[in-house]
Amino acid sequence: MIEFFLNGHRQRLAAAPDSSVLALLRDRLAACGTKEGCASGDCGACTVVVAEPDDDRDALSYRTTNACITPAHQLQGCHLITVEGLARGDALHPAQAAMVACHGSQCGFCTPGIVMSLFALHEQQRAEPSRALDGHRLEAALGGNLCRCTGYRPIRDAALSMATHADTRPSWADDPTLDEQVRALPRRSADSRYLTPASLAELAQAMQAYPSAPLVAGATDLWLEATQRLTAYERVIDLRRVAELRRIEETADGWWIGAAVTYREWEPLLAAHYPAFAHLLTRLGSAQIRNRGTLGGNIANASPVGDTPPVLLTLDARVRLASAEGIRELALDEFFLDYKQTALQPGECVAAIFLPRPEAGVEQRVWKLSKRREDDISTLLGAFRWRIDGGGHLRDVRIAYGGMAAIPLRVPAAEAALEGKADLDAAFDAAKRALRHTLTPMSDVRGSSSYRMTAAVNLLERWRLTLARPEPVDPTQEVALDAYAH
């Protein structure tokens, strides 16, 4: 059974372990305002808002998610808000009123998802009224919502004008005990088919007992197997309640990021210590994805076009693996073996990833090439890290790419061509030759082998140009280079 609140009303119902929130809404609860567009977390038509008591604050935080790829059982102990739960009778919520006033709806199919993203944005503004609603925040809030009628200008106008409308709140917002009632719900599923271990020891037991059961955290990739390939899961093991996987542990040398920590949760750490990496996260998926997706999932998934592994490789990251036999660690560049194959043994999972503390003078650049700016998979991602010594020589050079081969990889030959060199023109020419001689890029629907090689060499040249500039370049500039950039 799943116990949660829907638009202020308590729900308790059974669901198969592989059910999605979208299926639960439309098929079981007759809440059909939420639409299915792509069933892969790309279009945002199914956007809903989930309030989850994941901290000690009095008020719950409302965050967007894609209902199509969110496991229904992850609603346990949460408050789910859909487009049906915003208006107060005939009085519209500011997100709805602004969309009407600005003619932001055309065919209307994507409108419920857009309204829910605007609702979450409006709630953020209520919590932080002094925070500027600038273009970056608008992109972050709406980047995961596609309008096939291309009506983005009125949608943007609606977002900017919400504050001019009457601040009508949903009826459920009047209940001062609602947050307390949500927090009082059990956080762990009672369904034996959907396991929610609370510790690594319990997780190890579950993996031993059910070796074929998939592990799920954010489900932003795994649930595509259910929606796209119609894979049926008889049993699922959820990692989101495992205490050891939910921590960020600081040490003298760096930080261990728990495998079930979401992108949203560890972005502040990156912003403080790795600005280029932090800015890349703003181009990783959408707000809906970043609210639920995890670093551990991005690594364990072992996709050749995953955004974080190339950057982590340049940082000399390590990975901690856990099983019933205990804990072991290995360098991240030893973790990826082949396409979708990793060093994980049966009964073993990714527990945490180690980020070394950045050294003084070390710089980093990350450039992602994709066909569109928001919410797109990389065609190619290049990550570069280095420092320059007192004599003007490149030191500790790290070069890594995603989208070039079956696995994310470093390019030692190109690194060696640059290490210790001060003559940038000659050194980068040698690095480009090394890149061409050592890599044979893959071809797929996003780009041919020749295209990827040309792009990879051009990113090396882009890096050289930043080094040649007399003034330092902001590492957060132009992280995403979409293919149609002007």
User: What is the residue-wise DSSP string for 340-373?
Assistant: TEESPPTT-EEEEEEEEPPPTT-EEEEEEEESSS
Q: What's the confidence (pLDDT) of residue 469?
A: 76
Closest by CA position to 397, among listed 383, 408, 384:
384
Percentage above 90 pLDDT, the chain: 78
Closest by CA position to 86, among listed 129, 34, 12:
34
User: In the structure, what pLDDT confidence band is assigned to residue 484 with cuts at 50, 70 and 90?
Assistant: very low
Q: What's the confidence (pLDDT) of residue 93?
A: 97
290-299, 357-366, 462-471: which has the minimum mean pLDDT? 462-471
Backbone angles phi, psi at 252, to 5 degrees: -65, -30
> 320 with 256: CB under 8 angstroms?
yes
- Per-residue pLDDT of 166-183, as tens digits, reads 999 999 999 999 999 999
Q: Which residues contact 46 (CB under 8 A, 6 or more apart)?
A: 22, 34, 35, 36, 37, 66, 67, 68, 113
> 168 with 97: CB under 8 angstroms?
yes
- For the segment 381-410, the average pLDDT, to the nearest whole number, is 94
Distances (CA, A) of 198 to 61, 185, 202, 244, 246: 22, 16, 6, 9, 10
Backbone angles phi, psi at 3, to 5 degrees: -115, 125
User: In the structure, what pLDDT confidence band is assigned to residue 481 with cuts at 50, 70 and 90?
Assistant: low
User: In the structure, what pLDDT confidence band is assigned to residue 26 with cuts at 50, 70 and 90?
Assistant: very high
**What's the DSSP call for residue 91?**
B
| Highest mean pLDDT: which range of 45-59, 232-246, 370-384 | 232-246
- Per-residue pLDDT of 101-156, as tens digits, reads 999 998 999 999 999 999 999 999 888 888 888 888 898 899 999 998 878 899 99
End-to-end CA distance of the chain: 52
Average pLDDT over the chain, rounded to whole?
A: 92
- For the segment 248-252, the average pLDDT, to the nearest whole number, is 96
pTM: predicted TM-score of the whole model, two decimal places? 0.92
Encoding tokens for residue 98?
């602004």
Distances (CA, A) of 96 to 83, 162, 406: 9, 9, 45
> 257 with 264: CB under 8 angstroms?
no
Q: Which residues contact 123 (CB under 8 A, 6 or more apart)?
A: 62
- The residue type of 424 is L
Q: What is the 3-state secondary structure (H, E, C) of 66-90?
A: EHHHCEHHHHCCCEEECHHHCCECC
Enumerate domains of the chain plus CATH numbers.
Answer: 2-184 (3.10.20.30), 365-482 (3.30.390.50)
In this structure, how many other beta carbons lie within 10 angstroms of the beta carbon of residue 10?
A: 13
* Alpha-carbon 115 to chain mean position: 21
d(CA 479, CA 481): 6
d(CA 82, CA 375): 22
Beta strand 236-238 pairing with 215-216: parallel
Select the more confidently predicted residue: 445 or 72.
Answer: 72
User: In the structure, what pLDDT confidence band is assigned to residue 478 with cuts at 50, 70 and 90?
Assistant: low
> 246 with 240: CB under 8 angstroms?
yes
What's the chain's Rg over C-alpha atoms?
23
